[in-house]
Amino acid sequence: MSKEVLRTKLDPTYLPEQRYHFPRTYLRQVDAARGDWIVYYERRRPSGDLMKTGGRPAYFATVRIVDIIPDPSEPDALIEDFRLSGMPFLFKDTDHYYEGGLRKEDGSTNKGAFGRAV
């Protein structure tokens, strides 16, 4: 199984506790994580209120991918066991990056990797 971080948005029309809609280019990565726990990351998460916008980038929940639904435009991963983190945490703490791929050799943030959905 693959360990993944899925970047998502939180708004009333998108329900990340049930589905994760992703670009087809990430199908192999999401399929490799099927049945496994993954972490949700929201670029703009100010508080525990799921409907607010703005704020700091943070990891905020864990979920399990149980299935993938094919779609002509973009597939959906079915989500189960959605669990909000007691306290969202930032993608890095001082010089420590929680995702190694987000750090360049010079210590700066890899903006290309940072922008990927999976």
Is residue 118 in some structural domain? Answer: no
The total number of structural domains that make up the chain:
1
Q: Is residue 13 part of a domain?
A: yes
Render pLDDT for 6-50 as a digit per residue (tens, 0 to 9): 777 665 566 778 888 888 888 888 899 999 888 888 765 445 555
Does 28 reside within a domain? Answer: yes
Decide if 37 is inside a domain: yes
What predicted TM-score, i.e. pTM, was given to this entire model?
0.71
List the domain range (segments joined by +) for residue 67.
5-113
1: exposed, middle or buried (Cβ count in 10 Å: 0-12, 13-18, 19+): exposed
* Domain-located, residue 71: yes
97 lies in some domain: yes
